[in-house]
A and B are shown apart, each in its own frame.
Chain A
Amino acid sequence: NAGVMQNPRHLVRRRGQEARLRCSPMKGHSHVYWYRQLPEEGLKFMVYLQKENIIDESGMPKERFSAEFPKEGPSILRIQQVVRGDSAAYFCASSPGGRSEGSFFGQGTRLTVV
């Protein structure tokens, strides 16, 4: 039973490019959460999705960031026109139900903007 799978593990983008981060939840999990960890800081909630629905996006920056979790395929976190401040580790977590206790985290995607 594979855990939460994120790819790529490392992503380098030039300023102004787009970054696409993918997350496949654990088998049987239909709830996905994205978190961002800036260097030397704690994890910050970004968005909570179920299949085809955004449930809570209160932690998402207002511009350039979007997330989706389609009926088929992984959840995608998309960052348009990346800036240096977007450099961070982005973690995805999944859970079987609507509460995030016991969430399992993927290994993360480390985004570096140069």
Chain B
Amino acid sequence: RKEVEQDPGPFNVPEGATVAFNCTYSNSASQSFFWYRQDCRKEPKLLMSVYSSGNEDGRFTAQLNRASQYISLLIRDSKLSDSATYLCVVNKAAGNKLTFGGGTRVLVKP
């Protein structure tokens, strides 16, 4: 089983709609959680950290469920520029390396 699992998609989203997707992680000792965004053939860029209480950054909302070991990302009012691959990322306890999921591809269409 992969340490961080994501639905690869693609999620085809009409412009202006809301899309949400999850990822699950296997290591219950994981301490830090993030969503990164990666455009085709580019480097990953930090989108947002994910906190237990849930957090919001503009149109993006992230949630963490430690009991069920999953993280979610919701994008409201989708823009064409939101088309990308969204990477779920976990930092293990006492570790310094990031563990990446395989990514969820989102395609926003007019």
Query: What 0/1 readout, one digit per residue, does chain B (30-62) give for beta carbons within 8 Å of chain A?
Result: 001010000001111110010000000000000
Q: B42–A107 contact, CB under 8 A? A: yes
Q: B43–A106 contact, CB under 8 A? A: yes
How many angstroms between the C-alpha atoms of A89 and B41 in the bound complex? 9
Which residues does chain A contribute within 8 Å of B32, judged by CB atoms? Answer: 99, 101
| Of A41, A103, A104, the contact of B98 (CB 8 Å cutoff) | A103
Which residues does chain B contribute within 8 Å of A93, judged by CB atoms? Answer: 98
Which residues does chain A contribute within 8 Å of B46, judged by CB atoms? Answer: 102-104
Which residues does chain B contribute within 8 Å of A106, judged by CB atoms? Answer: 43
Q: Which of B9-17, B63-71, B74-82, B99-107 contacts A (4 or more CB under 8 A)?
A: B99-107
How many angstroms between the C-alpha atoms of A42 and B4 in the bound complex? 10
Query: What 0/1 readout, one digit per residue, does chain A (34-76) give for beta carbons within 8 Å of chain B?
Result: 0100000111110010000001101100000000000000000
Q: B91–A99 contact, CB under 8 A? A: yes
| Of A48, A107, A110, the contact of B96 (CB 8 Å cutoff) | A48
Q: A56–B44 contact, CB under 8 A? A: no
Q: A33-B96, A48-B96, A101-B34 are in contact. Are A107 and B102 (CB under 8 A)?
A: no
| Chain B residues close to A by CB (< 8 Å) | 4, 32, 34, 41-46, 49, 87, 91, 95-103
| Chain A residues close to B by CB (< 8 Å) | 31, 33, 35, 41-45, 48, 55-56, 58-59, 89, 91, 93, 98-108, 110
